[in-house]
Amino acid sequence: MNSAELLTKQKLSIFLIWLFHVSGGIGIIYSDASWFVGATPLNLSLSFLLLVLNTKLNKGAVLMFISCYLVGMLAEIVGVHFGFIFGAYAYGEILGTKFLEVPLLIGINWCILIFITGSIAGYFTSSFWQKTLLGVGLMLALDAVIEPIAPVLDFWAFEGGLASFHNYLGWALVALPLQMGFHKWNIKVEGAFPFHLYILQFLFFTLLLIKINSIGL
């Protein structure tokens, strides 16, 4: 693929994620919220497909995708059934088909989060441990704005209300070896796509959180 084709692919990918996230946010806030929330699996699937298209695929990248999916799903299955990783919680129905009470798309979400935060972290430092820990920190920051809105959107809900420190510690412990693997295998996502997707997700959930705290969904 030449540089012009690569640039066009990146621009189209960025345009599509902006289109879907902005449309979804506007739809949830000002239109039929249930319909747009119901489209979350489509949005997540599109984001993952575009991430794959913008990743330099090699043996390491493929193994990393598989590792993120399997580790993420296993952690969530154990978490849902035993409660000692993230705390006591359960998934709603909006994220689609489940395996052992965990939506299959959650493994996809772990892939997306590891790849975009790892890519962003690698942009700021070449130190293995610094970019590993920065990647974990970026994941926790995003989770912090998702958790308060998740029960309202029927993503998942914790017993007793909001997620506790237990949840964030669990996220860090699961994310750490995956971030280490990402940087050990030197995975590369091309262009600014990871930045755009991270910023979009952060803004999307932050705006919904503000909406809930002001006039409610």
One DSSP character per residue, 178-213 reads HHHHHHHTT--B-TTHHHHHHHHHHHHHHHHHHHHH
Are the C-beta atoms of residues 162 and 147 closer than 8 Å to each other? yes
pLDDT for res 177? 98
Among candidate residues 75, 70, 108, the one with its CA nearest the CA of residue 89? 75
Closest C-alpha among 98, 111, 83, 56 to residue 167: 83
pLDDT of residue 6: 60
- Other residues' Cβ atoms within 10 Å of the Cβ of residue 115: 28
* pLDDT value for 210: 80
How far is residue 147's CA from residue 155's CA, in Å, rounded to a whole number?
A: 9
pTM of the predicted protein model: 0.93
The partner residues of 189 in beta bridges, in order of sequence, read: 55
Per residue of the chain (217 residues), give pLDDT as tens: 556 666 688 899 999 999 988 888 787 777 766 777 777 899 999 999 999 999 999 999 999 999 999 999 999 999 999 998 999 999 999 999 999 999 999 999 999 999 999 999 999 999 999 999 999 999 999 999 999 999 988 999 999 888 889 999 999 999 999 999 999 999 999 899 999 999 999 998 888 878 766 655 5
Q: Note whether 208 and 217 are within 8 A (CB).
A: yes
Name the DSSP class of 58: S
